[in-house]
Amino acid sequence: MSFRRYWYIVAESRELRRNQVLARQVLDEPLACFRAADGSATVLRDRCLHRNAPLSRGQVRDGLLACPYHGWVYDGAGKVTAIPSLGPELRQRHCLPPYPVREQDGFIYVCLEREPAAPPFPMPHCGEAGWHTLRLQNRFRNTVENCVENFIDIPHTAFVHAGIFRSSRAERLQAQVVRRDGSVLVRYANERSNLGSYRWFLNPRGLPVAHTDSFHAPNVTSVEYRIGAKVFLITSQAVPVTAEETLVYTDLTYRFGWLNRLAAPFVRRYGQRIIDQDLEILDLQMRTIRRFGREFRDTPADHIHRLVDSLRDAIARGEDPRVLAEVSQDIEFYV
């Protein structure tokens, strides 16, 4: 087991058009992505077999990718179909094996190993009737570990997003945290009105809030709020570009009834505003870590993050995180 055996998003389906090549990077691996003649997505290592020029700087025509240096041509299976310097007859056989690729839920996924550990994570309610999804992309200057911790961390919201999404009120929150089958699930209790300046829309009557957070190894977080008939989910996939750079694809998925489409501009603006604040604080955190190292002091609320780390640590050791023993604990903290 390794991080390379998992699926990572390289692009939204709409981004990869025919006769186009996209340069991407996952786990420090440079990739060239294009659509083959049949329209299927292909991902190759971003290097021509001939003289190591980047294929992502080449051109695609009729599903064939031509290297920008000497014009070697690759098809969707990575086979070299033409070598211009040899003339019309192809007398040499070369192949650059493509990576496994899956196209699902409007995303293109790549796995850097031949045998993926598990299927790609299914995005909740994608394309379902009655639901609306807005898609965001943001590049964080921090690690996957610190990003996913931030995405399912309540205490920071009262300070980084003060007044927008929660405020510091010294209210007691209780939660049950469970690690099971490669995931961490957190169910919160006692939440009701501390929803910041958008409480008037999300919960104007002060109804009980059913709030769950979850992490799914190695890089997916999902936050769900159910308030009466309203349901709001934030699902993020953190793609490791380099050791200190993470590209995050976030789906804002909600069911607000007849307000679904009317609410879209508000939800997008609200979501991106919160993400912008996280981008800033995580950038500052990474700068400090570079200077002083990653030494943290934990509180009871950080038990969630310790369990997330336990799953990623298992992968780093070459183990399957799904076989770790089930753990359940009740925690209590104040916001």
Whole-angstrom distance between the N-terminal and C-terminal Cα of the chain?
38
Domains contained in the chain, CATH given: 3-111 (2.102.10.10), 132-334 (3.90.380.10)
Q: What is the token pair recorded at 110? A: 């790549």
Determine the pLDDT at residue 196. Answer: 62
Low-confidence residues of the chain: pLDDT under 70: 192-201
CA atoms of 17 and 159, how far apart (whole Å) = 41
Tell me the CA distances in angstroms from 237 to 151, 216, 220, 260, one per residue in order: 10, 10, 5, 23
Phi and psi at 199, nearest 5°, equal: -60, -35
Query: What's the mean pLDDT when you consider all of the chain?
Result: 94
Q: Which amino acid is at 201?
A: F
Percent of the chain scoring above 70 in pLDDT:
97
Alpha-carbon radius of gyration of the chain: 22
Global pTM value: 0.95
Residues 6+ away with beta carbon under 8 Å from 280: none
Determine the pLDDT at residue 194. Answer: 62
Determine the pLDDT at residue 90. Answer: 83
Residues 190-215: tens digit of each pLDDT: 776 666 666 666 777 777 889 999 99
CA atoms of 156 and 143, how far apart (whole Å) = 17
Determine the pLDDT at residue 195. Answer: 66
Determine the pLDDT at residue 202. Answer: 73
Determine the pLDDT at residue 70. Answer: 98
